Amino acid sequence: MTIHVHLSPTEAGSSSAGVSSFATPAIDAEDTLRQVVTRLRTAKRIVVVSGAGVSTAAAIPDFRSASGLFSGKTMGGHSIKDLFHVRCLAHPTLLAKHHELITSLSSLSTAAPPTPFHTYLSSLDNEGRLLRCYTQNIDGLEEKTGLAVGIPSSKRKSPKAKGKENTPSLLSTPDTPETSSESPEPRVIPLHGLLSTLHCTLCHTILPLPPHLPLPPTSLPCPTCELASSIRSALSERSRKSGTLRASVVLYGEEHPEGESIGKSVSRDLKGVDMLLVCGTSLSVPGVKRVVKEMAKSTKSKGKGKGKQGQDVKTVFVNEEPPSKVSEWDGIFDIWVQGDVQKFVENYLQNPDFASTPTRASANKASPSAITKSSTPKRTPSTPKKRKLPTTYLPPTPVSLQKDNSSTESCQAYATPTKPQSSNAASYTSRGVTFTPPLTDEIRPIKRVKVERREREVSPTPLRKDEGSLPPSVEVRG
């Protein structure tokens, strides 16, 4: 169940009829807003998904609103949506209009200042609570607030060989940005690319876009490919095909060139997210819809954060209008804050006076006994000491039965005769063993047994019957 809160109470009545199928009006709008702000201030790993609605305050038009670029506007007889399709790159007439549109949007993005929403993202990052921001915008305003924008690399670092240094390529240009392996991981991932760069369709050389403005009505050749072609021509080698430069934005009808790296980043963030904030988007792009649904599912499966009406406040949607195809978003968002995202940030999220006092519901429920109990200082619980068990006497183990000649004479012992090991044993020695009673402390009296020495009796040799006794003087020879 999604709870609906309107930032403008005067407009809430007129708009509530159209959103009844998507969200339920909040019982107490102010208290619900306090709960949302409190959750956003206490969350540790926030994932933000933003759309074009967060940049309209910087005079950058969105696409699908009533005043957006796709609202029936044309440029030279062609709709704006057609100029964002990949087929316009192969059509000379559409390419000229496409370059004109890119030039206009790039100029607006370069001159636009960051909005309060972008400043709020930077403050979350400085506090260490922004896990990731997935933006559909191509203006790059997040970078102006100090956030790292880009695609995380999926390649592992390889150890450098000894004696080798990183030498610049012969085909690189001074304007080519170099990536460092020690650079931090991008906090903002542009899902649809950026207007700030150009890239070659063949060799993937990346160049900044502003030096090439305005873009020509024809295709823009790649300087790296031209340099390689001139080198091959000087060496009398076979010429190769050269590429052209295009804006580094993802157009309709093509896949994201870094889609695999973005997918790996989403998989990593699913394991750590504890709060999802979706702002300024109608959620009509299939890839973005899939990311939001997976993030919401992962967020709802962790931790606590229940609100006044019993729901978990973990997924918040802030936008002027409900998402497209509201039937797909049943149970995805906990709170829908309807209104301008900039007002929500300035008046609530960045307002220190808001949500700093306890809510009215909690104040009414507080009783004098509860206040008295809370005012009394609690004693710090200590770990109870373990009671020492009484010492008991246990039966002797086989190890204690070993021979100990040193203690034989000092204690009373039981003397037991043993079989002699050799025939010349003259006497027997007694082995002393002390037996301790197993379950009592009483010492029983020990009897002393005296072993007397007995001489061995020599038996006479028996004679045969036919033998008699011979006189001592007769010598018998055999």
The token pair at 265 is 């980043």
Rounded Cα distance, 119 and 112, in Å? 14
Kindly state whether residues 311 and 277 are assigned to the same domain: yes
Q: Which two tokens stand for residue 391?
A: 């010492």
CA-to-CA distance for 199 and 91, rounded, in angstroms?
A: 19
Tokens of 184: 């931090």
Same domain assignment for residues 52 and 200: no
Instruction: Calculate the alpha carbon distances from 292 to 50, 52, 239, 279 in Å.
Output: 11, 16, 47, 11
Q: Is 434:411 a contact under the CB 8 Å cutoff?
A: yes
Say which residues have a Cβ less than 8 Å from residue 67's Cβ, sequence separation at least 6.
Answer: 61
Greatest Cα pair distance, the chain, in angstroms, is 160
Backbone torsion region of residue 72, taken as left when φ is above 0, otherwise alpha when ψ lies between -120 and 50, otherwise beta: left
Residue 420 falls within a domain, yes or no?
Answer: no
Are 213 and 350 in a shared domain? no
Nearest to 187 by CA among 248, 276, 124: 124
Q: Catalytic: which of 4, 118, 192, 199?
A: 192
Confidence of residue 159 (pLDDT cuts 50, 70, 90): very low
Residue 442 lies in a domain: no
Are 118 and 15 members of one domain?
yes
Q: What is the pLDDT of residue 154?
A: 65
- Report if residue 205 sits inside a domain: yes
Spatial distance between the Cα atoms of 149 and 143, rounded to a whole number of angstroms? 6
The predicted pLDDT at position 285 comes to: 92
Binding-site positions for Zn(2+): 200, 203, 222, 225
Catalytic residue check, 118: no
Decide if 448 contacts 412 (C-beta within 8 A). Answer: yes
CB atoms within 10 A of CB 350: 14
The amino acid present at 313, given as its one-letter code, is V
**Boundaries of domain holding 132:** 1-59+114-153+184-192+259-358
173 near 198, Cβ under 8 Å?
Answer: no
Task: Say whether both 131 and 84 belong to one domain.
Answer: no
Number of alpha carbons in the 13 Å side-chain half-sphere of residue 422: 3
302 and 329 share a domain?
yes
Structure-block tokens of residue 340: 């301008």
> Pick from 169, 173, 177, 174: which is nearest to 224 by CA?
173
More confident residue, 67 or 225: 225
202, 206, 209, 211 alpha-carbon torsion, rounded to 10°: -100
221's tokens:
């050749």
> Given CA atoms 75, 78, 84, 89 in this order, what sign does their dihedral have?
negative
Closest CA to 60 of 91, 116, 104: 104
Contact indicator for 409, 429 with CB cutoff of 8 Å: no
Count the domains in the chain. 2
Q: What is the pLDDT of residue 54?
A: 96
Q: Of the candidates 72, 92, 95, which has an alpha carbon nearest to the alpha carbon of residue 84?
A: 95
Question: Does pTM surpass 0.85?
Answer: no
Q: What is the pLDDT of residues 243-282, one digit of tens each?
A: 999 999 999 999 999 999 999 999 999 999 999 999 999 9
Residues 326 and 188 in one domain: yes
The reply to whether 295 falls in a domain is: yes
> Do residues 188 and 263 share a domain?
yes
pLDDT at 460 over 80: no
Amino acid identity, position 462: P
- How far apart are the C-alpha atoms of 188 and 375, rounded to whole Å? 45
**Cα(463)–Cα(411) distance, integer angstroms:** 52
- Indicate the average pLDDT of the chain: 78
Helices (H), 376-451: none
Residue that finishes a domain, picked among 341, 358, 375: 358
Q: SS3 helix, strand, coil % of the chain, rounded to 5?
A: 30, 15, 55
Residue range 416-435: mean pLDDT, rounded: 50
The secondary structure of residue 55, as a DSSP letter, is T
Q: Would you state the structure tokens that stand for residue 135, as one six-digit string?
A: 């933006």
Identify the H or E element spanning 378.
none
* pLDDT above 60: residue 214: yes
CATH number of the domain at 301, please. Answer: 3.40.50.1220
Three-state DSSP at 25 gives strand
**Does 202 lie in the same domain as 129?**
no
Same domain assignment for residues 227 and 264: no
Structure tokens at 298: 């992962």
Do 268 and 295 sit in the same domain of this protein?
yes
**CATH number, domain at 231?**
3.30.1600
Distance between CA atoms of residues 124 and 182, nearest Å: 22
Residue holding tokens 């998402």? 323
Averaged pLDDT, 413-424: 49
**Which one is predicted more confidently, 216 or 171?**
216
Residues 234 and 265 in one domain: no
What is the separation, in whole angstroms, between the first and last Cα of the chain? 126
- Residue 53 lies inside a defined structural domain of this protein: yes
Let me know if residue 333 belongs to a domain.
Answer: yes
Residue pLDDT, tens place only, 332-346: 999 999 999 999 999
Could you say which of 303, 328, 358 is where a domain stops?
A: 358
Which residues, listed in sequence order, are joined to residue 277 by a DSSP beta bridge?
48, 316
Domain boundary among 249, 270, 288: 249
Domain annotation covers residue 81: yes
Rounded distance between C-alpha atoms, residue 202 and residue 104, angstroms: 26
Q: Check residues 97 and 400 and name the one with the higher pLDDT.
A: 97
Residue 376 lies in a domain: no
- What percent of the chain clears pLDDT 90, i.e. is strictly above it? 52
Transcribe 262-282 into DSSP letters. HHHHHHHHHTT--EEEEES--
Residue 129, φ and ψ in degrees, nearest 5? -110, 0
